[in-house]
Structure 1
Amino acid sequence: MDFLDVPTVLKVSALFNLMAALAWLTLAQLFRIAPRAGRLMAAAHLARIVSQGCGDCLAGWPAPARQAVPEFALLGCVLLLLLALRRMLRSRQRPRDIAWIAGLGAAGIAAGLASGSGLAPQLASTVAVTVLGLMAVREVWRGIGDRLSAVVRIGTTLPFALLALLAFVHGAELLLVPGWEAHVLEGRLPTAARAVLWFVVTAAITLSLIALMIWRLIMRIQHLTHRDPLTGALNRRAFERALADGQAQLQRGRGFALVMIDIDHFKQINDRHGHPAGDAALQHCVRVWQAGLREIDCLGRLGGEEFCALLPLALPGDLATATVVAERLRASLAAQPLHWQGSELPLTASFGVALPVVGDAQGEVGLARADAELYRAKTEGRNRVCVALHLGGLGASS
C-alpha cells in the first residue's frame, strides 16, 4: 500500500474518533440514550486518538514518555470499550476481572519502561489488549444470547474478535520479527496496511456498538409495550397473546397450567395506608412471585390486584407440578411482609389452578376455570390454593 499516505490515514482515523466521541456524548448528555455507556465510549474514542500516535508531536519528549503515552492510551481505550459494552448489555458481573487484567497490563508496561526495553511495554499492552478483546467477544455473545439470530450474533461479535486477533498477531511480531525494538524506540509510524486495518477495526467496533444500542432501544420499547408500568409484569394484552401462543402449542402436545392470583384484602391496604402503599404492595408481590418462577413462566397483571401465571409443563396434564408452584408462591408471599414507612404489612393471596382445554384458541375456558377456583379459595378463607382437578369437576383444595 505504498500509494497511501500514512499520516493522512492517521489524521482521518483521528477525525473519525473525534466525531464518534462527540456523537456518543450527544446521545448520552442531550438525548439520555445509554448515558453511562455513551460517556465511556466517548472516552474510549479519545483514548484511541492518543494511542495511534501523532508523528512529530512527541518528538521532544524523552524516549520513555514517547513509549508510555501510546501504550497506556491503547490499554485505556480497550478497557473503556469493554466497560461500555458491559453497560450497554446490562451485564451483572462486577468489573473485577477487567480491573485485574488492565492492572496487570499497566504494571507490565510500567515495568518494561523502567527496564529501558523497547519491546516489553508493547508486549505487556498487547497481551492485555488480546485478553480484553476476547472478554469483549464473550460479553457480546452472552449478552445477546439466543434473542437474535446466529448470523447477527456473529456479525456483531466479529469486530471484537478481529481486535483480539490483531493484538495477538502484533504480539507474535514483537517476539518473532527481528528489529522491532529499534522500530519502537525510534518512534516510527506504522505501515499503511497496519494503519488502515486498525482504522477499519475501530470503525467496525463503533458500528457494532451502535447496532447494540439500537437493539437495546428496541428491547426497551418492547418492554414498555408489553409490560405493566407499575409492576413490570406482562400487561393484559401481552398476557393474552402469550396465552394464545400457549393454546397453539397445546395442539402440538406441549401443555401448560394457569394460576389465577388475587391479593387478599387489597382494598384495606389502600383505605388504611393510602394508594402509595397499595402500589408498593403490588410491586412487592410481583417481586416475590417472579423470584419463585422460571424464566419461561409468564406472570401477567390482568387488572387491579388480579394476576395470572402461565406455567409451561414438561408433561401435559401435570397438575401436581403446577400446584406445587402455586403453593410455593403463596407461602413465599405470606412469609415476606411488606416493609412500609417503618411498619410491616402482612400480605397474602389466594390462588386458583387449572389446566387449559384443547381447541380453546384464546384460552378463555382455562382462564374461567382458574378464576372459578380462585373464587372458591376466596370463599373458603383466602390465603390458599384451590385446584380444578378435572373438566367439569368441583376441584379440590390444597
Structure 2
Amino acid sequence: MDFLDVPTVLQVSALFNVVAALAWLGLAQVFRIAPRASRLMAAGHLLRFATHGCADCMADWPDVLRQGVPELGLLGSMLLLVMALRRMLRSRQRPHDLQWLGTLGALGIGAGLASGSGLAPQLAGTISTSALALLAVREVARGLGPQRSRLIALGMTAPFVGLALLGLGHTAELLFTPGWEDHVRLGVLPTPQRAVLWFVVTATITLNLIALMIWRLIARIEHLTHRDPLTGALNRRAFERALTDAQAQLQRGRGFALAIMDIDHFKRVNDGHGHAAGDAALQHCVRVWQRHLRAVDRLGRLGGEEFCVLMPLAQPGDLAGAATVAERLRVQLAAEPLEWKGQPLTLTCSVGVALPSEGDPHGEVGLVRADAELYRAKAEGRNRVCVATPLTADPVS
C-alpha cells in the first residue's frame, strides 16, 4: 500500500467519525429513531475523534497524557458503542458487566501510566477493547436471534469479531515483539496496512449499526401497518389476510378454529370510568389473552371491543380443543381484574367458537358462524363460551 500514507488514513478516519456523529445526531433529533441509542453512538464517535483525531496535536503533550488519552478514549467509545447496541436490540441485560469491564480497563490504564511503562497502558486498553468487542458479538447474536437469517447475523457479527481479533493480535505484539515499547514511547505511527484495516473494521461496524437501525425502522413501520395502535393486536385488515392464508391451507389438512370475543358491558366501563379506562381495559384484555395463547395463534381486533383469535389445530376438526382454549381465555380474563386508579375492575367476555368451512376463500362463513355463537352467549347471560355445531362440509376429526 505504497500509495497510502498513514496521516491521510488517520485524517479520513477522523472525518468519518465527525460525519458519523452528525448522522447519528440527525437520526436522534430529526427522525427520532431510537434517540437514546443514536445519541450514545454520536457521543462515541465524537469521543473517538477528540482522542484520536489529531496525533500531531498531542506531540508536545507529556508522555502520560499522550499515552493515556487515546487508550481511555478508545475504551470509552467502545463502552458507548455496546451500550447503544443494547438499546438498539432492546436487550434486558443489566449494565453490571460493562461497569466492571470499564472500571477494570480504566484502572489498568491508570496503573500502567503510574508505573511509567510504555506497554502497560496500551495493553490494558487493548485487552478491554477486545473484551467489549466479544461482548458485542454476543449481544448481536442474542438480539437478532431467529428474526434474521444466519447470513445476516454473520454479516452483523463479523466486524465485531474482526475488531476482537485485531485487538488480540495487537496484544500478542505488545507482549512478544521486541522493541515495541520504544515504538509506543516515541509515538511511531502504525503501518498503512494496519491503519487501513482498523479504519475498515470500525467503519463497517458503524455502517452495520446504521443498517440495524434501518431494519428497526422498517420493522416499526410494518408493526404500525399490521397492528392496532392501541392494543398491539392485529388490525382487521391484517387479521383478514391471516384468515385468507389459513383458508388456503385448509385444503391441505391444516385446520383451524375461530373464537370471536366481546368484552361484556364495555359501555359501562366507558360511561362509569371514562374513555381512558376503556382504553386501559382493551389493553388489559389483550395482555391477558396473549399470555395464554400460543405463538402460532393470531389475535386480531375486529373493531371496538370485539376481538377474534385464529387458532391452528393439530387435528382439523378438534372443536373441543378450540372450545377449551376459548374457555381458558374467558376464565383468565375474569380472574385477572384491571387495576384502575387503585381499584380492581373485573372484566369478563363472551365468546363464540366455530370451525371454518371449505370452499370459503376469505373465511366469511366461519366468522359469521362464530359471531352468531357470540350473540347466543350474550343472550344466555354473557361471560360464557358457545360453540357452533360443525357443518357437514366442515372438516371432522
The answer to whether the superposition gives a TM-score over 0.5 is yes
Deviation larger for 335-344 or 281-290:
335-344
Kindly indicate whether residue 22 of structure 2 is the aligned counterpart of residue 22 of structure 1.
Answer: yes
Letter in 2 for 1:382: R
Query: Which TM-score applies when normalising by structure 2?
Result: 0.91
Aligned residue runs from structure 1 range 207-286, under 5 A? 207-286=207-286
Query: What is the SS of the residue equivalent to 2:279?
Result: helix
| Aligned equivalent of 1:171 | 171
* Alpha-carbon separation, structure 1, partners of 2:138 and 2:312: 30
* Alpha-carbon separation, structure 2, partners of 1:240 and 1:31: 32
After superposition, the Cα gap between the structure-2 partners of 1:169 and 1:53, relative to the gap in structure 1 and judged at 3 Å, is: farther
| Aligned equivalent of 1:181 | 181
Shift, 1:110, TM fit: 2.4
| Aligned equivalent of 1:386 | 386
* Alpha-carbon separation, structure 2, partners of 1:371 and 1:91: 41
| Cα displacement string for residues 185-229 of structure 1 (whole angstroms, at most 9, x for unaligned residues) | 222221111111111112211211111111111111111111112
Deviation larger for 225-234 or 120-129:
120-129
After superposition, the Cα gap between the structure-2 partners of 1:257 and 1:197, relative to the gap in structure 1 and judged at 3 Å, is: same
Deviation larger for 257-266 or 29-38:
29-38
Query: What is the SS of the residue equivalent to 2:147?
Result: coil
Letter in 2 for 1:294: R
After superposition, the Cα gap between the structure-2 partners of 1:96 and 1:370, relative to the gap in structure 1 and judged at 3 Å, is: farther
Query: What is the SS of the residue equivalent to 2:152?
Result: helix
Deviation larger for 38-47 or 243-252:
243-252
* Alpha-carbon separation, structure 1, partners of 2:131 and 2:308: 46
Shift, 1:258, TM fit: 1.8
| Cα displacement string for residues 274-299 of structure 1 (whole angstroms, at most 9, x for unaligned residues) | 22222221112112212222333211
| Cα displacement string for residues 19-57 of structure 1 (whole angstroms, at most 9, x for unaligned residues) | 111121122113322211111111111122245363232
For the 8 Å contact 2:357–2:366, the answer to whether it is kept is yes
Letter in 1 for 2:74: L
Letter in 2 for 1:337: P
Letter in 2 for 1:289: W
Shift, 1:179, TM fit: 2.0
| Cα displacement string for residues 147-176 of structure 1 (whole angstroms, at most 9, x for unaligned residues) | 333333322332222222222222222223
Query: What is the SS of the residue equivalent to 1:85?
Result: helix
Query: What is the SS of the residue equivalent to 1:145?
Result: helix
Query: Which TM-score applies when normalising by structure 1?
Result: 0.91
* Alpha-carbon separation, structure 1, partners of 2:102 and 2:316: 52
| Aligned equivalent of 2:206 | 206
For the 8 Å contact 1:53–1:70, the answer to whether it is kept is no
* Alpha-carbon separation, structure 2, partners of 1:270 and 1:373: 25
* Alpha-carbon separation, structure 2, partners of 1:64 and 1:315: 74
Shift, 1:361, TM fit: 1.8
Q: How many residue pairs align between the two structures?
A: 393
| Aligned equivalent of 1:75 | 75
After superposition, the Cα gap between the structure-2 partners of 1:139 and 1:316, relative to the gap in structure 1 and judged at 3 Å, is: farther
Letter in 1 for 2:142: R
Letter in 2 for 1:313: L
| Aligned equivalent of 1:293 | 293
For the 8 Å contact 1:50–1:69, the answer to whether it is kept is no
| Aligned equivalent of 1:396 | none
Shift, 1:248, TM fit: 2.2
* Alpha-carbon separation, structure 2, partners of 1:350 and 1:156: 47
For the 8 Å contact 1:249–1:255, the answer to whether it is kept is yes
Unaligned 5+ segments in structure 1 are 394-398
For the 8 Å contact 2:14–2:53, the answer to whether it is kept is no
* Alpha-carbon separation, structure 1, partners of 2:284 and 2:198: 50
Unaligned 5+ segments in structure 2 are none
